[in-house]
């Protein structure tokens, strides 16, 4: 029987709120069993860029990463944010280890080819990207990996990779050895039918409903790649996927948030 493994992705809006991040990390520390945390950076990287004269450019919720932006997101994600999270987890007796994909060669990406849009130094993942044995060895050593959204190509180049994509790829890759549950935590209580109405939570979304909800505009912006990655994970062996508020991490699956199903 496979051991359970929980992969949690935390959104930038939670990271930006020190009080909310504090309570989230309390709950994450209390999660039983093996676990992995994945984070991006959100406004921290954007504000750092503005202070350095580099304005963020976004297309469909994805950041365009030129060489100047890559330096900024590496500083923000792999440095300031990652080490702050690790230090806070250590204070809660959660023995975390902060990682980029380059560390231990844990996540190897390929620079996204230019098609209609040049995303710059952005890394895409495939079924061979995740070093399952290395991550398993960290878990077996009772360490809690904390991954930021920086990967590498194996040839000296760091790459900015969507944190939702990283969380999904890790969940899929680890599902061969673990019963994996993937949880996306952000500032909303789940996927909302009306973004201005917190009570309009969609408690469940089936794969066959996703396209219609996207076409009608209910799902838009950064939620599109988030749900796309989630459904790809389900189709590829992940046991469960939830999307919900960071404050309700310990309640996912208990009528909280949005559950995604086939």
SS3 state at 241: strand
Distance CA 37, CA 170 (A): 10
Q: Does residue 260 fall inside a structural domain?
A: no
Has residue 75 got a pLDDT over 80?
Answer: yes
CA–CA separation, 47 vs 172, rounded Å?
A: 33
Question: Of 147-161, 206-220, 244-258, which gets the smallest average pLDDT?
Answer: 244-258
pLDDT grade, residue 94 (50/70/90)?
Answer: very high
Q: Which residues are annotated as part of the binding site?
A: 41-42, 63, 160
Phi first, then psi, for residue 243 (nearest 5°) are -125, 125
Report the pLDDT value the prediction gives residue 199, as an integer from 0 to 100: 78
Confidence of residue 172 (pLDDT cuts 50, 70, 90): very high
| Contact (Cβ atoms closer than 8 angstroms) between residue 103 and residue 152 | no
* Token code pair at residue 87: 């230090």
Q: What is the mean pLDDT of residues 132-161?
A: 98
CB atoms within 10 A of CB 176: 10
Which tens digit of pLDDT belongs to each residue from 195-231?
777 778 888 888 888 888 888 888 887 788 778 878 8
- Domain extent, residue 41, equals 3-179
Is residue 240 situated within a structural domain?
Answer: no
In this structure, what CATH number is given to the domain that contains residue 112? 3.40.1160.10
Q: Which residues are known binding-site members for substrate?
A: 41-42, 63, 160
Q: Is residue 135 part of a domain?
A: yes
Q: What pLDDT was estimated at residue 251?
A: 67
* 109 vs 20: which has the higher pLDDT: 109
User: Are residues 172 and 237 in contact, defined by beta-carbon separation less than 8 angstroms?
Assistant: yes
133 to 142, 174, 178, 180, 258: CA distances (angstroms): 14, 9, 12, 15, 31
Q: In sequence order, which residues have a C-beta less than 8 Å from that of residue 255 and are 6 or more positions away?
A: 203
Entry pTM: 0.91
Residue, of 100 and 116, whose pLDDT is higher: 100
How many domains does the chain divide into?
A: 1
Residue 242 lies in a domain: no
Q: Identify whether 30 is part of a domain.
A: yes
pLDDT confidence bin for 54, thresholds 50/70/90:
confident
Whether residue 255 is predicted with pLDDT greater than 60 in this model: the reply is no
Which pLDDT value is given to residue 37?
98
- Tell me whether residue 139 is in a domain: yes
Q: Rounded to a whole number, what is the distance in angstroms from the first to the last CA of the chain?
A: 23
Token pair, residue 71, equals 């330096």
Instruction: Please report the pLDDT score of residue 253 as a whole number.
Output: 54
């Amino acid at each position: 029987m496979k051991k359970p493994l929980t992969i949690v992705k935390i959104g930038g809006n939670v990271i930006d709120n020190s009080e909310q991040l504090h309570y989230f990390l309390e709950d994450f520390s209390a999660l039983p069993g093996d676990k992995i945390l994945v984070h991006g950076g959100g406004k921290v990287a954007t504000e750092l860029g503005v202070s350095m004269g580099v304005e963020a450019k976004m297309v469909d919720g994805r950041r365009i990463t030129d060489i100047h932006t890559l330096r900024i997101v590496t500083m923000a994600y792999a440095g300031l944010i990652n080490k702050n999270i690790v230090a806070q987890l250590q204070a809660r007796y959660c023995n975390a280890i902060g990682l980029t994909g380059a560390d231990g060669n844990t996540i190897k990406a390929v620079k996204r080819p230019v098609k209609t849009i040049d995303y710059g130094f952005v890394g895409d993942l495939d079924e061979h990207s995740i070093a399952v044995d290395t991550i398993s060895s960290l878990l077996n050593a009772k360490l809690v990996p904390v991954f930021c959204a920086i990967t590498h190509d194996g040839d000296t180049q760091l790459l900015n990779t969507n944190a939702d994509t990283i969380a999904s790829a890790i969940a899929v890759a680890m599902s061969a050895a673990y019963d994996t549950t993937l949880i996306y935590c952000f500032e909303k209580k789940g996927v909302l039918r009306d973004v201005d109405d917190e009570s309009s939570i969609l408690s469940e979304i089936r794969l066959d409903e996703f396209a219609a909800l996207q076409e009608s505009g209910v799902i838009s912006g950064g939620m599109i790649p988030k749900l796309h990655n989630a459904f790809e994970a389900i189709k590829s062996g992940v046991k469960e996927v939830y999307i919900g508020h960071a404050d309700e991490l310990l309640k996912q699956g208990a009528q909280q948030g949005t559950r995604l199903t086939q």
